[in-house]
Amino acid sequence: MANTANHLVPEQGKFRRALAAVATWLQALDYTGFDYTLDRIERLEREVGRLKEELHQIRNSGPIDAHNGSAGGLEH
Protein backbone atom coordinates (compact mmCIF):
# COMPACT_ATOMS: atom_id res chain seq x y z
CA MET A 1 0.00 0.00 0.00
CA ALA A 2 2.93 2.33 0.70
CA ASN A 3 4.14 1.78 -2.86
CA THR A 4 0.82 3.11 -4.16
CA ALA A 5 1.30 6.34 -2.25
CA ASN A 6 4.79 6.72 -3.68
CA HIS A 7 3.61 6.40 -7.27
CA LEU A 8 0.82 8.95 -7.16
CA VAL A 9 3.09 11.84 -8.20
CA PRO A 10 6.33 10.60 -9.80
CA GLU A 11 8.03 14.03 -9.67
CA GLN A 12 7.70 14.48 -5.92
CA GLY A 13 10.87 14.63 -3.86
CA LYS A 14 12.24 12.22 -1.30
CA PHE A 15 10.70 14.11 1.61
CA ARG A 16 7.22 14.06 0.06
CA ARG A 17 7.53 10.35 -0.78
CA ALA A 18 8.58 9.63 2.81
CA LEU A 19 5.71 11.73 4.14
CA ALA A 20 3.27 9.89 1.87
CA ALA A 21 4.63 6.54 3.10
CA VAL A 22 4.23 7.61 6.74
CA ALA A 23 0.69 8.81 6.05
CA THR A 24 -0.17 5.47 4.44
CA TRP A 25 1.34 3.59 7.37
CA LEU A 26 -0.63 5.68 9.88
CA GLN A 27 -3.80 5.07 7.92
CA ALA A 28 -3.16 1.31 8.11
CA LEU A 29 -2.80 1.60 11.89
CA ASP A 30 -6.24 3.21 12.02
CA TYR A 31 -7.85 -0.20 11.27
CA THR A 32 -9.90 -0.88 14.41
CA GLY A 33 -11.34 -4.06 15.83
CA PHE A 34 -14.75 -2.84 14.71
CA ASP A 35 -13.45 -2.54 11.12
CA TYR A 36 -12.05 -6.06 11.34
CA THR A 37 -15.38 -7.38 12.61
CA LEU A 38 -17.31 -5.72 9.79
CA ASP A 39 -14.87 -7.07 7.19
CA ARG A 40 -15.10 -10.56 8.66
CA ILE A 41 -18.92 -10.46 8.68
CA GLU A 42 -18.91 -9.31 5.05
CA ARG A 43 -16.63 -12.21 4.05
CA LEU A 44 -18.80 -14.70 5.94
CA GLU A 45 -21.96 -13.35 4.30
CA ARG A 46 -20.37 -13.80 0.86
CA GLU A 47 -19.34 -17.35 1.77
CA VAL A 48 -22.87 -18.20 2.98
CA GLY A 49 -24.27 -16.81 -0.28
CA ARG A 50 -21.83 -18.90 -2.29
CA LEU A 51 -22.72 -22.03 -0.30
CA LYS A 52 -26.46 -21.37 -0.73
CA GLU A 53 -25.98 -21.04 -4.48
CA GLU A 54 -23.96 -24.26 -4.57
CA LEU A 55 -26.64 -26.08 -2.56
CA HIS A 56 -29.32 -24.72 -4.88
CA GLN A 57 -27.40 -26.02 -7.91
CA ILE A 58 -26.95 -29.44 -6.30
CA ARG A 59 -30.67 -29.69 -5.48
CA ASN A 60 -31.63 -28.70 -9.03
CA SER A 61 -29.16 -31.06 -10.72
CA GLY A 62 -31.61 -33.98 -10.59
CA PRO A 63 -32.22 -37.07 -8.50
CA ILE A 64 -29.34 -38.57 -6.58
CA ASP A 65 -28.40 -42.17 -7.27
CA ALA A 66 -29.95 -44.40 -4.56
CA HIS A 67 -26.59 -46.09 -3.99
CA ASN A 68 -24.83 -42.78 -3.55
CA GLY A 69 -27.50 -40.95 -1.54
CA SER A 70 -25.15 -40.06 1.30
CA ALA A 71 -23.57 -36.65 1.72
CA GLY A 72 -20.29 -38.17 0.56
CA GLY A 73 -21.89 -38.91 -2.78
CA LEU A 74 -22.44 -35.17 -3.33
CA GLU A 75 -18.74 -34.40 -3.56
CA HIS A 76 -17.38 -33.61 -7.01
**Res 29: pLDDT:** 83
Same domain, 23 and 40: no
Same domain, 24 and 36: no
pLDDT-flagged residues of the chain (< 70): 1-12, 63-76
Q: Number of folded domains in the chain? A: 2
Q: What is the phi-psi region of residue 62: left when phi exceeds 0, alpha when psi lies from -120 to 50, beta otherwise?
A: left
Contact call for residues 5 and 21 (beta carbons, < 8 A)? yes
pTM attached to this predicted model: 0.45
Domain that holds residue 17: 1-30
Q: Is residue 41 part of a domain?
A: yes
Q: Is residue 73 part of a domain?
A: no
**Res 75: pLDDT:** 54
